[in-house]
Amino acid sequence: MGGAGFVSRALPPLFLFLHSYQQEVQMAGHSSAVASHTGNNLFLRVVAALSTVAGWCSAAMIVSAVAITCQMIVVRFVLNKSTIWQTEAVIYLVIAATLIGLPYVQRLRGHVNVDLIPISLPPRPRFFMAIVTSLLSITIVSIMLFYGYEYWHFAWQRGWKSDTVWGVRLWIPYLAIPVGFGLLLLQLIADLFAVLIGIDKPFGLEDT
């Protein structure tokens, strides 16, 4: 009864998490901006495809993390057995899902932003503002990518392992850092390129 009671108390937060995640995705779709356009440009279409694949991988990681959490609850509080790898795996999966999902959210323009100023600007100033903000974003993400890759390389070169019973090789979960920021950088470059050649509108906003 104790194990079953714990499961009944633990499962609602999981469903609450999934519901809140679904609401965030829906809110991204209700923004005044639309998803980035690719036209018939091969480069933009390839980058969009990579970002979409990354989004699916991120979603799969979240589902896997929830499934492992449910399995861990059953093992620990129903079967009364110890767990070794589950907690650590869930942490790594959720973090990796966040990083790997960055380019897909960027493609949908779902990142938190305030578009009051771009909306109020005329087309020409809005265009220049989009260029400046894109260049700043590319610069910041490039720095994150550089140090993220360096950190991952240290973990791989020096054979770092987690200080747990599982002892996972840390270069495996750390790989999500350079991959996530690398794909995000690629999507940011594609967004800037699309605006420069006129395929996409600045900030995804239609001229009024």
What average pLDDT does range 110-115 have in this prediction?
78
What average pLDDT does range 94-115 have in this prediction?
90
Q: How far apart are CA 183 and CA 102, in angstroms?
A: 8
Tokens in use for 91?
């942490």
Check: CB of residue 109 under 8 Å from CB of residue 33: yes
Q: In this structure, what are the phi and psi dihedrals at residue 95, rounded to the nearest 5 degrees?
A: -65, -45
Q: What is the pLDDT of residue 66?
A: 97
Tokens in use for 17?
């998490």
**How much is the mean pLDDT over the chain?**
85
What average pLDDT does range 37-54 have in this prediction?
92
Element holding 173 (H helix, E strand): helix 171-174
Q: Which amino acid is at 151?
A: Y
Q: What number of helices (H) and strands (E) belong to the chain?
A: 8, 0
Q: How far apart are CA 142 and CA 145, in angstroms?
A: 5
Q: How far apart are CA 98 and CA 42, in angstroms?
A: 27
DSSP letter, residue 36? P
* pLDDT band for position 34 (cuts 50, 70, 90): low
What average pLDDT does range 166-172 have in this prediction?
95
Q: Is 26 helix (H, G, I), strand (E, B) or coil?
A: helix
* pLDDT band for position 120 (cuts 50, 70, 90): confident
**b (16+ CB within 10 A) / e for 145-179:** beebbebbeebeeeebeeeeeeeeebbebbbbbbb
Check: CB of residue 65 under 8 Å from CB of residue 83: no
Q: Could you tell me the pTM of the whole model?
A: 0.81
Residue 4 pLDDT exceeds 50? no
How many other β-carbons are positioned within 10 Å of the β-carbon of residue 45? 13
Check: CB of residue 171 under 8 Å from CB of residue 25: no
